[in-house]
């Protein structure tokens, strides 16, 4: 799947949200593994990146950190960072702690 973005920060924001546990559950449950479509974005409610939005900047920064850790195969640190990404994405989407616990349980692959 290719999605056009306007900046590196927006790319990291988008990648962090797409790799959050919430998105991964939806992606897994609503797609065929060999077919990903941008239509999926209709279901994810990913807001347009706004550089002045503090939460958007935080998610982008977390996404950049995840990219850097994945580049050096630091799975332990990446796993810890996933928790932060999930927390930030839950704030963006208004997901409660109880809902996030259920999502994380469902996200176990």
Determine, yes or no, domain membership for 3.
Answer: no
- Is residue 2 in a domain? no
Q: How many domains does the chain have?
A: 1
Residue 67: the pLDDT is: 95
Q: Within a domain: residue 48? A: yes
Residue 32: what are its φ and ψ, rounded to 5°? -90, 135
Q: Is residue 32 in a domain? A: yes
Digit-by-digit pLDDT tens for the chain (109 residues) are 667 789 999 999 999 999 898 887 777 766 655 555 566 667 777 889 999 999 999 999 999 999 999 999 999 999 999 999 999 999 999 999 899 889 888 877 5
Considering the domain boundaries, does residue 37 fall inside one? yes
Which residue range is the domain that position 17 belongs to?
Answer: 8-106
The b/e string for 40-68 (b: 16+ C-beta within 10 A; e otherwise) is: beeebebeebeeeeeebbbbbbbbbbbbe
Domain membership of residue 1 (yes or no) is no
- Whether 73 is covered by a domain: the verdict is yes
How far, in Å, CA of 61 to CA of 39, rounded? 26
């Amino acid at each position: 799947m290719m999605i056009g973005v306007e900046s590196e920060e927006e790319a990291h924001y988008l990648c962090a949200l797409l790799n959050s546990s919430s998105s991964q559950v939806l992606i897994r449950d609503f797609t065929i593994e060999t077919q990903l479509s941008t239509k999926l974005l209709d279901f994810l409610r990913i807001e347009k990146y706004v550089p002045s939005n503090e939460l958007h900047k935080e998610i982008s920064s977390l996404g950049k950190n995840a990219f850097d850790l994945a580049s050096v195969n630091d799975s332990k640190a990446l796993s810890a960072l996933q928790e932060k990404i999930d927390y930030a994405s839950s704030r963006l989407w208004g997901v409660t702690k109880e809902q996030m616990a259920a999502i994380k349980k469902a996200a176990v692959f």
